């Protein structure tokens, strides 16, 4: 192995069994990939990446992918820096004869910009979906940020499976929290929080949120006096700026309730959000969709079951931020005209296999 610090090698034993799925992690996803392979007795693969002096990427797949079903594991939190490596890996596997190529992205990026709010804006959710769909045969993710889309298939042209972590959150709360009171961050979360509370067998309440900007929110809690003896549990699907959870925790303290436990799906925690939230809570718990110190809930077994048996993938508890809004003529024209051209030549042709 090279001593060059710009080289990143992920190596695992190659069992050489073409009948087993081959799981290949991109850098930073090794632990998740190992859990997934162990859960389903799949083979772990290997990829080497390094940077040339001019900053361009060298990538080599060290496993034999010919006639194999290849599964790349790459969470897409903060995707810009590593996205080309992911595309290069998929294109490389296809050119080396992979039978099919699946992307497991426990966190799926570029779901927020789902319409053009100001003239000239790129609708990046559609752009990103097009790029991924041209490189992979199937996508598996967990609790994507669905807002104005009813389903991932509204923007992805490949088969896309959205799994839901709510039952796993409920199991963790039921096992680890005595006498809980679940609290959702806003009215849009009520159905989602109610389903988790029902599984736990606990009461729930929902806050009212007024967002003034990315990092400026007001939270108004309902009357919680009858549950003063319970342990508050703030549940949310994503913590990005963390402002919603920070303000909710502060409001609970002002009401004289005990420090809350925070349970979330995606631990993005941009900037110092985690450091600001931590003193306001007893504990912060997340799934491992994004590698973070708060990770305590493993997604790999659920994802493995879904891939091993598609019939096991059901509707589940889906959090929709708000009902899909009707499009005006400008929005409709933008969607109808997308994509406006064939994939660029550098992407190469994509052949679909037995979806």
Query: Residues 6 or more apart from 89 whose CB is under 8 A from it?
Result: 24, 26, 47, 59, 61, 72
- Of the pLDDT bands very low, low, confident and very high (cuts 50, 70, 90), residue 297 is very high
Q: How far apart are CA 187 and CA 321, in angstroms?
A: 9
Each residue's pLDDT tens digit, 108-167: 999 877 778 788 888 888 999 999 999 999 999 999 987 777 789 888 999 999 999 999
Cβ within 8 Å of residue 5, ≥6 positions away? none
Band (pLDDT 50/70/90 cuts) for residue 215 is: low
Q: Strand order in 160-163's β-sheet?
A: 43-44, 22-25, 69-73, 100-105, 138-142, 160-163
pLDDT for residue 149:
77
Q: Which residue has the higher pLDDT, 232 or 121?
A: 232
3-state secondary structure of 110: coil
User: What does R_g of the chain's alpha carbons equal in angstroms?
Assistant: 21
Burial 295-306 (b: 16+ CB within 10 A, else e): bebbbbebbbeb
Helix (H, G, I), strand (E, B) or coil at 232: strand
Q: In this model, does residue 339 exceed pLDDT 80?
A: no
Domains and CATH numbers, the chain: 7-164+319-347 (3.40.50.2020), 166-297 (3.40.50.2020)
Nearest Cα residue to 92 out of 29, 34, 47, 141: 47
Beta bridge partner(s), residue 266: 238
pLDDT band at 282 (very low <50, low <70, confident <90, very high): very high
Q: Structure pTM?
A: 0.81
**What is the rounded distance in angstroms from the CA atom of residue 204 to the CA atom of residue 289?**
25
Q: Each residue of 26-53: pLDDT tens digit? A: 999 999 999 999 999 999 998 999 999 9
Per the model's pLDDT, the better-predicted residue between 115 and 253 turns out to be: 253
Contact 122, 338 (CB under 8 A): no
pLDDT tens digit sequence for 160-194: 999 999 999 999 999 999 999 999 988 888 989 99
66-75 pLDDT, tens digit each: 999 999 999 9
18 pLDDT band, cuts 50/70/90, is low
Whether the predicted pLDDT of 12 surpasses 60: no
CB 229 within 8 A of CB 202: no
């Amino acid at each position: 192995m090279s001593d060059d610090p710009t080289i990143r090698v992920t190596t695992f034993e190659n069992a050489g069994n073409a009948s087993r799925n081959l799981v290949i992690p991109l850098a930073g996803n090794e632990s998740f990939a190992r859990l997934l392979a162990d859960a389903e007795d799949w083979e772990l693969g290997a990829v080497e990446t390094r940077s040339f002096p001019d900053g361009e990427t060298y990538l080599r797949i060290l496993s034999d992918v010919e006639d194999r079903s290849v599964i790349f594991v790459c969470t897409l939190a903060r995707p810009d820096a590593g996205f080309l490596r992911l595309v290069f890996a998929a294109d490389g596997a296809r050119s080396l004869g992979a039978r099919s190529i699946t992307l497991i992205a426990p966190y799926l990026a570029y779901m927020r910009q789902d319409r053009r709010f100001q003239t000239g804006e790129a609708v990046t959710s559609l752009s990103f979906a097009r790029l991924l769909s041209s490189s992979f045969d199937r996508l598996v993710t967990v609790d994507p940020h669905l807002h104005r889309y009813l389903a991932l298939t509204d923007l992805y042209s490949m088969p896309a499976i959205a799994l839901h972590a709510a039952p796993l959150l409920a199991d963790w709360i039921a096992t680890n929290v005595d006498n809980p009171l679940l609290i959702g961050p806003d009215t849009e979360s009520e159905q989602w929080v109610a389903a988790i509370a029902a599984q736990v067998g606990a009461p729930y309440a929902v806050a009212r949120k007024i967002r003034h900007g990315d990092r400026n929110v007001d939270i108004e809690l309902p009357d919680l006096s009858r549950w003063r003896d319970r342990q508050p549990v703030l549940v949310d699907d994503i913590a990005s700026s963390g402002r919603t959870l920070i303000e909710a925790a502060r409001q609970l303290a002002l009401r004289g309730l005990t420090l809350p436990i925070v349970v979330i799906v995606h631990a993005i925690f941009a900037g110092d959000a985690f450091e600001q939230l931590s003193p306001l809570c007893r504990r912060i718990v997340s799934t491992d969709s994004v590698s973070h110190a708060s990770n305590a809930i493993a997604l790999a077994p659920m994802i493995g079951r879904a891939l091993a048996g598609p019939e096991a993938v059901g509707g589940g508890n889906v959090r929709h931020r708000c009902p899909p809004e009707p499009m005006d003529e400008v929005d409709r024209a933008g969607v109808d005209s997308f994509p406006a051209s064939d994939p660029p030549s550098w992407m190469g042709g994509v052949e679909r296999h037995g979806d």
